[in-house]
């Protein structure tokens, strides 16, 4: 599976906090997302130095195209906004179905982050160049505006949760692509086996007092 990540090149869009801008943060988010996706075996393609309107030529063979941006309006509005191609509205076949599925996957995962009720994940339709280019190429695409960077609350939330947000996007992308995500392997160490439960309880208490998790299981011998 192959995904094209297209972070914003809009350096002039300054953030309300952090002395940063949309381009810098979008590319940083793309970096985090790329690492997570590649750990799941997903190939990531980027062309950050190329004008966004021309990036589609690098996305040949990709299964999903995601422009990564942040938003601005009146310094009061907050939340994540997701967009798909305008001409897909009301259509229930082909590319429109895939676009809707990809968008819904991202929305579902971002909604799980437990943000303030003010931080609403909305979706809409747009006719922006990257979306129309992707549609012409037959590639599903979701245009992401992760937060409103002119809102200080959104900026603070983003700085505190960017890793969780990247993980949410990665999980959503893998879900959409049907990529089975690998799970971490845990290695447990047993410190004792006791015939009498009272001795097991004593050992568990010692472990917990030392700052280690302790639990008791039963096994027939």
Q: What are the tens digits of pLDDT across the range 138-186?
A: 999 999 999 999 999 999 999 999 999 999 999 999 999 999 887 665 5
| Nearest Cα to Cα of residue 99 among 80, 87, 85, 114 | 85
pLDDT for 187 equals 59
| Nearest Cα to Cα of residue 100 among 85, 80, 117, 120 | 85
**pTM strictly above 0.75:** yes
Neighbour order of strands in the sheet with 43-45: 43-45, 2-7, 64-71, 143-148, 81-85, 122-126
Other C-beta atoms lying within 10 Å of the C-beta of residue 147: 27
pLDDT for 202 equals 87
Q: How confident is the model at residue 1 (pLDDT cuts 50, 70, 90)?
A: very high
For residue 219, pLDDT beyond 70: no
Q: What are the tens digits of pLDDT across the range 51-110?
A: 999 999 999 999 999 999 999 999 999 989 999 999 988 887 899 999 999 999 999 999
pLDDT for 120 equals 66
What is the C-alpha separation between 213 and 209, in angstroms, rounded? 9
What is the C-alpha separation between 84 and 99, in angstroms, rounded? 6
| Axis-axis angle for helices 152-177, 95-111 (nearest 10) | 130
201 vs 46, higher pLDDT: 46
**High-pLDDT (> 70) share of the chain, %:** 93
């Amino acid at each position: 599976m192959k995904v094209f990540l297209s972070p914003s090149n809009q350096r002039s869009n300054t953030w309300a906090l952090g002395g940063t801008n949309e381009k810098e943060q979008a590319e940083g988010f793309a970096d985090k997302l790329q690492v997570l996706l590649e750990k799941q075996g997903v190939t990531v393609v980027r062309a950050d130095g190329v004008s966004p309107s021309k990036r589609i030529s690098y996305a040949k063979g990709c299964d999903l195209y995601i422009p990564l941006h942040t938003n601005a309006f009146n310094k009061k509005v907050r939340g994540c906004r997701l967009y798909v191609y305008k001409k897909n509205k009301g259509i229930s076949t082909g590319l429109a179905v895939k676009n809707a599925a990809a968008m819904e996957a991202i929305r579902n995962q971002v909604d799980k982050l437990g943000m303030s009720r003010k931080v609403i994940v909305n979706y809409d339709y747009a006719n922006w160049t990257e979306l129309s280019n992707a549609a012409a190429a037959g590639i599903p695409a979701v245009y992401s505006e992760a937060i409103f960077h002119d809102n200080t609350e959104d900026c603070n939330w983003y700085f505190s949760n960017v890793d969780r947000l990247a993980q949410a996007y990665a999980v959503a992308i893998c879900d959409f692509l049907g990529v089975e995500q690998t799970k971490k392997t845990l290695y447990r160490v047993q410190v004792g086996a006791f015939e009498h439960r009272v001795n097991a309880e004593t050992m568990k208490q010692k472990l917990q007092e030392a700052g280690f998790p302790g639990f008791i299981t039963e096994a027939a011998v």
